Chains A and B, each alone.
Chain A
Amino acid sequence: MAEEEVKLFGTWASPVSRRIEVALKLKGVQYEYIEEDLTNKSPALLNYNPVNKQIPVLVHNGKSVAESLVIMEYIDETWKHNPILPADPYERAMARFWAKYIDEKFWPAAMKIVVANGEEQKGEIDEIQQQMKNLEGELKEKKFFGGESLGFLDIAANIIIWLVVAQEALGMDQILNEEKLPVLYGWLQRLLDDAVFKECVPPKDRHLDLFKVKFGSSK
C-alpha cells in the first residue's frame, strides 16, 4: 500500500479516545497523536468533525471518521490483520449489541453516579452493578470478551476503568470489586495486564488527580 497518513485527535483521559489508540496499536498502525484541549478545540478538529465537534477523530489520508465505535469498525475493515471483530456474523452482532449497551446504558449510569448523592446515588450504583452482572453473563469463562485476545467489546468496555478510577477518587470501593463482581474484576486485571493495553492507560496518579478535581474526593 502507498504511504499512509494516520492521525488521531483525542484526549489522554478519555476512554473513547483510548479505544482508538488500543485498536491502532493492536493492528500495528503508525499514527500521529494530537492531544486536544476540549475547552479550546483546534481548528483542525472542528474542520474534521464539524457535525459533533468531538474527539476521537481518526484522519486517514486526509479523510476523517468520527464516533469511536464507527472508527473501530473502520480500522478493522481497513487493516485486516489481527481482526478485532469476530468472523461469524452472529458473534459480531453480539459484540456490537454489548458495545452499544455500554455506551447507552453503562456510560450514562457511570456519569450519574459521580454527581449523585445519598439514596439517589445508591440507586444508580445498584443499577450499574446489575449492568455489570449482565456483562459478566456475556464474558462467562472466557479470558477476554474477544476470546484469547482483546476484541471489539474488550476495547469498548475499557470505559469500566473510568468507573474504577472514579470510585477511588470518591473514596469508595463498593461499586466494582472482586467480591461483588468476581468475573468482571478478573477480566479487568487481565485487561490492565495486557501488553498493548498497558501502553494506553494513563498513570493512575494523574488519572486520580483529574477525577478528584472534577468530582471531589469526599461525599
Chain B
Amino acid sequence: MASTGSVADQEGQVMLLGFWFSPFVKRVEWALKFKGIEYDYVEEDLTNKSTLLLNSNPIHKKVPVLIHNGNPIAESLVIIEYIDETWKKNPILPQDPYDRAMARFWANFIEQKVTESTREALVSQGEQQEKKVKELKEAMEVVEGEAKAKLNDKTLFFGGGNGVGYVDFVLGWTCNWMETIEEVGGFKVLDPANQPHFHKWMANFREVSFVKATLAPKEKLVEYFRIVRQARLGLLLPYIRESSAKARSRNPESKQHHPESKNYHACVVVC
C-alpha cells in the first residue's frame, strides 16, 4: 500500500489488535485504509488473549486496540476520531462544528439503538428478544428516515459531498453482519420494501473498495455467531456433546479436542 508521504513524523509504528469477525475492528480497518495508513494487523486468539492486548486495554480487555508509537487506544469510535485528528488527509469527520456534532449524534444513536439492540437480540430469545427486535425496528425506521433525507443519486453516503464519512463507518457493519445476525438469531429487521434508501446505501457501501476487500464470508460469520448465541443462551453443551459424538462415530480413533468447545469457552469469555 502506498505510504502517506508528507506526514512522515506522524507515521511511526501503527498496530491494530483485532478479531476477524468483529465489526468494531472492521470499522477501524476501514478508517486506516481510507486514510492510506500502513499498519500491522495482529489477529488475537479469543481463548488466549495476548499480554500485549491485556496490557494495552486493561480496562475492557477487548479489541480493537490501536497502538501508535507504543501508545494504545481502545473503543472503536474513540480510535476513529484519533485517526482523523492524527492523519489529516482524507478527513472522516466534516470540518464545520455543527456538521461534526450531527455526525457524532448519529454515530451515538447508531451505537445505542442499532448496534446494541442487535447485539442484545442476538443473545436473547422469547419475549426478551421480541422486545429488542421491536426496539431495533423502530431504530431502523429512524435510520431509513435519515437515509431518505440525506441521500440521493448524487449523494450516496452520509459523509455527503466528500464521499464516505464517520456515520458511514459507524453504520457500515450492517451491510455485512446484519443478515448474518438475523439468520442466527431467527428474526428479521431488514426490509428492502420499507427501507429502500437504507438498502441502497448498504449496496453502495459494500462496493467501496476497502469495504469490499475486507468483508468476511457470510458462512464463516454465521458459523461463528451461531456459537456466540448458543453459548450465551446456554444451549451449546448439548450441541457440543452431539457434535463430539458424531465426530467420534466418524473417527473413533481421533483424540482431537473438539474445536467447538474451544470456541464455546471463548464466546462465554468475550460476549
Contacts and interface: CB of A to CB of B under 8 A. Distances in A.
**Chain A contact residues, majority secondary structure:** helix
Contact of A97 (B78, B97, B98, B142): B78
A94 B79 CA distance: 10
Interface stretch (B37-45, B47-55, B69-77, B188-196): B69-77
Contacts of B77: 100
B78 A93 contact: yes
B118 to A, nearest CB: 17
B231 to A, nearest CB: 23
B104 A97 contact: no
B84 to A, nearest CB: 9
Nearest to A93: B82
Contacts of B75: 96-97, 100
Contacts of B86: 89
Interface stretch (A21-29, A67-75, A154-162, A178-186): A67-75
B81 interface: yes
A71 B109 contact: no
**Chain B contact residues, majority secondary structure:** helix
B8 interface: no
B contact residues, range? 20 to 34
Contacts of B100: 73-74, 77
Contacts of A101: 59
B239 interface: no
B105 A97 contact: no
B101 interface: yes
Given A77-B97, A134-B59, A70 B105 contact: yes
B98 A63 contact: yes
B135 to A, nearest CB: 13
A74 B98 contact: yes
Interface of A: 51-52, 60, 63, 65-67, 69-71, 73-74, 77-78, 89-90, 92-94, 96-97, 100-101, 134
Which of B71, B100, B105 has the largest count of A CB atoms less than 10 A from its CB? B105
B109 A90 contact: no
Contacts of B78: 93, 96-97, 100
Contacts of B101: 65, 70-71, 73-74
Contacts of B102: 65
Contacts of A60: 98
A70 B71 CA distance: 25
A65 B98 CA distance: 8
Given A65-B101, A74-B97, 9 more contacts: A65-B105, A66-B105, A67-B108, A69-B108, A92-B82, A93-B82, A96-B75, A100-B75, A101-B59
A101 B97 CA distance: 24
26 contacts: A60-B98, A63-B98, A65-B98, A65-B102, A67-B104, A67-B108, A69-B108, A71-B101, A73-B100, A74-B98, A77-B100, A78-B97, A89-B82, A89-B86, A90-B71, A90-B82, A92-B85, A93-B73, A93-B78, A94-B73, A96-B75, A97-B75, A97-B78, A100-B75, A100-B78, A101-B59
Interface of B: 59, 68, 71, 73-75, 77-79, 81-82, 85-86, 97-98, 100-102, 104-105, 108-109, 142
B81 A97 contact: no
Given A90-B73, A97-B73, A97-B74, A67 B105 contact: yes
A60 B96 CA distance: 14
A210 B175 CA distance: 46
Nearest to A97: B78
A66 B102 CA distance: 9
B104 A89 contact: no
A94 B74 CA distance: 9
Contacts of B104: 67, 69-70, 73
Contact of B79 (A51, A66, A93): A93
Contacts of A89: 82, 85-86
A187 B118 CA distance: 38
Contacts of A71: 101
A82 to B, nearest CB: 16
A51 B106 CA distance: 10
Contacts of B59: 101, 134
A97 B96 CA distance: 23
A93 B108 contact: no
A5 B102 CA distance: 19
A96 B82 CA distance: 10
